Structure 1
Amino acid sequence: MEVNMMSASKLSKNIISNVGGVENINSLTHCVTRLRFVLKEKEKVDKDTIDNLDGVTSSLYSGGQYQVIIGQDVADVFEDIISNYELNGTKKGAADTNQGEDKKSILGRLDQLFSILASIFTPLIPAMQGMGFLKIILVLAKFMGASPESTTYQLVNTLSDSFFYFLPFLVAWSAAERFKANKALALMLTGLLLHPGFMELFKANEQVSFLGINVPNINYTGSILPPILTILLLSYVQKLLNKLLPKLFKTVFSSVIALIITMPIAILIIGPIGNWGGAVLVNLFNSLYQFSPLLSGAVIGGLWQVIIIVGMHWLVLTLIQFPNIDSLGVDRVTVAFAPSIMCQIAAGLAVALKVKNKAVRQNALSLTVTSLLSGGVIEPVMYGVNIKYRKPFYFVLVGGAVGGAITGACGAGITAPVMFGIYTLPAFFGKGFTGLMIGTLVGCSMTFLLTYFFGVDKAIEEKQKKELEAYTAEIV
């Protein structure tokens, strides 16, 4: 159900009230479909009430965040919240009691890490989507006879490629926002890593050194972890200087001292470590693909929906898919996620056809069609139908693994970082496209049949029936 501006205000009010009020919110961001709250006390959330709000598909705790799935109107609700509520109005230094003992555990620390990374990459999603669709436009233009040699084609191509080239700048800007570092200094430090003069030093000299210490020769174009770690260090250096420097010297000297301290650590230690860490992850997935495209496809296709639930799908794409597309023009590793997207649609359709109650059937069908037409955004049917019935979601994982295995074995690829949907098919044209379609068909058929015959629990159907009846009675 779409959320107009008037109902967006009502929905935001209800959400804020049921997450424990403004005083229980540490921060709020949003992605394509979800509001992402970092809360102080999880116990204050009335999840059942939020899940049944008009305009909310579902909600869950993931990645150290309380995520409220709304759909395509999430931006309207987010804007209403930040326009009408003082989210930073709590006392400075207030304890974050939400994490408490969880932070001491491994899972708690992972949740905290996922929360940080998600908050950095979420603001970059519009640029990712814009770049992806520009690539699709170029594919279609070339297919229709446009010459890649024309200056118009090259200008659009350069615009889309600028995302990859200047990705460290975008990451640094977002990381500075997340870590509360000075944005100008953050971009300046990242600019060093991308400056032509920095790169030319290594061409003109056998060895580049800083105060006698050799500087590793690394190409930081398109890098992710080095700018994140550098800006994290900058934030700590700035906090330390604010404590140590007298007020008289802060304005004049704090910036230059922060640069002098951070720069050598960035190019001598953090940059190489971050670059190595990202390379390890990329090489791990690429090596698995080289060892067995079928096995690689099964792993990625089978686990992709779990990665979405954790909220880390954009991070995985950024670290693995983006570098492959940037350097090779195509990524054949992560493309195995594509069939699993359609498997969610197949599972939702099976539920809609299997359930007996008319209201539950209409709800499932509506969410399934919404996800099909949304361009690869499958959260509505995933959270609104498949996860609620549980078994359909498990069958999505099975179908995704089978479809992903076939996709990987056929050598399919993706030339633009987009989700898989009816609008984005041109990004998947080329070698292995037929195999991708076969994998999608097989995976969807398996998911549909398993869900239809074994995936609909009558007890859950009855529960959903009562929820819908209660909700209908309430709004009438």
Structure 2
Amino acid sequence: MDYSIVAKKILEKIGGESNVNSVMHCMTRLRFVLKDESIVNDEEVKKIKGVMGIMKKGGQYQIIIGNEVSKCYKEILKLGNFSDSSNKTEGSGEKQGIITRVLDVISGSMSATMPAIIGAGMIKVLVVLLTTLGVLSKDSQTCAILSALGDATFYFLPMILVMSTSKKFNINPYTFAAVIGVMVYPDFVKLLGTGDAVSFLGVPVTPASYGYSVIPVILMAWVMKYIEEIVEKITPAVTKNFLKPMLILLIAMPIAIIVIGPIGFLVGKGLSTAMYTIQDKANWIALPLMAAFMPLIVMTGMHWAFVPMALAALANPGGYETLLLVAMLPSNLAQGASSLAVSLKSRNKELKQVASASSISALLAGVTEPAMYGVTIKYKKPLIASMIASGIAGLYAGIVALKVYVFATPSLIAIVQFIDPNGSSNFTNALITAAIAIVGSFVLTWIIGFDDPANEEDEDNEEILNEDIMEIKETALDKMESKSEAVILAPIQGKSVSLSQVNDITFSEEIMGKGAAIIPSVGKAVSPVNGVISALFETKHAIGITSDDGVEILIHIGLDTVKLGGKHFTAHVKSGDKVKAGDLLVEFDIEAIKKEGYEVITPVLVTNVNDYRDILSLIDKDIKEKDELIKVIR
């Protein structure tokens, strides 16, 4: 997959660089914050080869790419000057509700740290596996160091969260790190652990453990934002370099250890207690429901709300978790098994390829989004089959009170996370749960079936688009036809933008044709091709040209400028005139038109689009007359 092509198509379909406030990515998705989501044609985005689906949530326009998202992200960054949206908490998109905002903060803070958490979790899984097999002694120094590598990420999670939460709340990460560092400073931890009363300036400090903590860090980041703003206002300019950071630390540290830290600790402990209550009283009901609906929970991002609770549960001595991670085991494996069934049963080459890769990702790595968006959700019946099987497996897990002892994404490789350090049948029950999910989902998908798409030839399978080069493979049906293309030059100097930026649905929804729009900087239009003037409106604001190659082009100067009746326009050609590329067609007064209250943005369209295989435009570029603007592929 050439992600430079995918990136260019994505950027074009979402309205170009000018419609993007910021962009970041998680494990499988590009997350855009757009200035105007309404101008994006979702169906066109979904049709892009390499895009598995879209999701609109929390003010973000999320495009699901899959495991190769980082490659696509790098190509996106090459196409414009984009900022990271992880620090955007407000000011873009529609106003979010409180629940959405809380989930957005949690997911935005946690998602960036997941590589470290997953990596450390897998190290802990490796230690369990090696010690269980007798390859490594629990008392060896190697085991101690490997355990430190696995445990350090979780114990110092508050410090790891500093960077992502700082971006989320737009605060200084280094002063924030200094404040949070106190919470896990060894001597401070030791002081709180003595059992004696601790106070700061006579104010009691509540004993609390902040290792593994998430909630205290997020709450403190929110408070820190206001502390920084207040200190910024009260410190004189000449003293800001030294007085401002000192005051921030002196104000923030006591608030952190006396107020926010204990509150966050109690909230986290309360959530942990609630989870244990569910585990003890109603897990046999909660687990099958959560396992069955986990794909939908992941789609909405609600699973992030459970991550702090899971971490809190595992942080306790001898801790274990029996809800989120346990439910994800059958769900992840069921998604993978369903995709495997699709890959074996489908006759569509492309679907077989996508489904087989997705099944490996879900079964071995626990990454389900490629399977969800590329297979199960897309074809619906496999989703139903996987949810039924996952629910049944979840019911078994709930009945036997299945527990997980290590935080890692559940998968066949990570399943040793279910080994009980004290020895029990828990691991056996995990294997049975996995077997129910895999076999059940595979068989149900095979029996229920799915709508297998017809096998398509490799039309437009490979595209190479540089500024002035494009190559399209011929399909099996037209190999006898010659491949050709036509180039349409820019008729006006200015900036090229996507048609979706035009404030008129006739153009933005490509009703009249496809192409690009230009925001003029010079008030004259020249011919973009060699051809003939097929139409010149009396009002001179619109010119139709038919090229020598048969391409029908419309240049529409401004929006609603027909109402000017030709005022501020001077025509230099008439209908029937033959023209060459670069010949002057019309002159117009940009400022005068603007003063009349009209936009001067100029759509340049190919109107006979059905005669061509594809039409590609170069947008978000400063262009001059006769620069390449549109490529027409026959």
Question: Common fold, TM-score beyond 0.5?
Answer: yes
5+ residue gaps, structure 2, are: 464-471, 474-634
* Corresponding residue for residue 98 of structure 1: 93
- Alignment of 1:443 with 2:434, yes or no, is no
**Which residues in structure 2 correspond to 1:57-76 (within 5 Å)?**
57-76=52-71
Q: How far, CA to CA, are the matches of 1:296 and 1:448 in structure 2?
A: 24
- Alignment of 1:347 with 2:342, yes or no, is no
- Is the Cα contact below 8 Å between 2:397 and 2:430 reproduced in 1? yes
Amino acid at match of 1:131: A
Instruction: Give 3-state SS (helix, strand or coil) of 2:361's partner.
Output: helix
Amino acid at match of 1:35: L
Instruction: Give 3-state SS (helix, strand or coil) of 1:20's partner.
Output: coil
**Which residues in structure 2 correspond to 1:195-274 (within 5 Å)?**
195-203=185-193, 206-274=196-264
Residue among 44, 48, 51 paired with 2:46:
51
Residue among 97, 118, 126 paired with 2:107:
118
Q: CA deviation at 1:348?
A: 2.6
Residue among 13, 17, 20 paired with 2:15:
20
**Cα distance change of structure 1 residues 21 and 438 upon mapping to structure 2, 3 Å threshold:** same
Amino acid at match of 1:55: G
**Which residues in structure 2 correspond to 1:394-413 (within 5 Å)?**
394-413=384-403
Q: CA deviation at 1:317?
A: 3.1
RMSD: 3.1
Q: C-alpha deviations, 1:183-229, integer Å up to 9, x for none?
A: 12111111111123323434557422334432211111111110111
RCO greater where, 1 or 2, for CA within 8 Å and sep 6 or more?
1
- Is the Cα contact below 8 Å between 2:332 and 2:362 reproduced in 1? no
Instruction: Give 3-state SS (helix, strand or coil) of 1:328's partner.
Output: coil
Q: How far, CA to CA, are the matches of 1:294 and 1:229 in structure 2?
A: 33
* Corresponding residue for residue 560 of structure 2: none
* Corresponding residue for residue 125 of structure 2: 136
Relative to structure 2, which stretch is displaced further, 144-153 or 262-271? 262-271
**Cα distance change of structure 1 residues 428 and 206 upon mapping to structure 2, 3 Å threshold:** closer
- Alignment of 1:390 with 2:380, yes or no, is yes
**Cα distance change of structure 1 residues 203 and 285 upon mapping to structure 2, 3 Å threshold:** closer
Higher strand content, 1 or 2: 2
**Cα distance change of structure 1 residues 360 and 195 upon mapping to structure 2, 3 Å threshold:** closer
Higher helix content, 1 or 2: 1
Q: How far, CA to CA, are the matches of 2:246 and 2:102 in structure 1?
A: 30
Instruction: Give 3-state SS (helix, strand or coil) of 1:60's partner.
Output: strand
TM-score w.r.t. the length of structure 1 is 0.86
5+ residue gaps, structure 1, are: none
* Corresponding residue for residue 300 of structure 1: 290
Instruction: Give 3-state SS (helix, strand or coil) of 1:316's partner.
Output: helix
* Corresponding residue for residue 338 of structure 1: 329
Residue among 304, 317, 328 paired with 1:327:
317
Q: CA deviation at 1:279?
A: 1.9
Relative to structure 2, which stretch is displaced further, 313-322 or 65-74? 313-322
Amino acid at match of 1:332: T
* Corresponding residue for residue 309 of structure 1: 299
Q: CA deviation at 1:166?
A: 0.5
Instruction: Give 3-state SS (helix, strand or coil) of 2:317's partner.
Output: helix
Q: How far, CA to CA, are the matches of 1:468 and 1:236 in structure 2?
A: 59
- Is the Cα contact below 8 Å between 2:24 and 2:84 reproduced in 1? no
Q: How far, CA to CA, are the matches of 1:468 and 1:48 in structure 2?
A: 21
* Corresponding residue for residue 366 of structure 1: 356
- Is the Cα contact below 8 Å between 1:281 and 1:320 reproduced in 2? no
Instruction: Give 3-state SS (helix, strand or coil) of 1:192's partner.
Output: helix
Q: CA deviation at 1:137?
A: 2.1
Relative to structure 2, which stretch is displaced further, 312-321 or 222-231? 312-321
- Is the Cα contact below 8 Å between 1:35 and 1:70 reproduced in 2? yes
Q: Which has the larger radius of gyration?
A: 2
- Is the Cα contact below 8 Å between 2:193 and 2:207 reproduced in 1? no
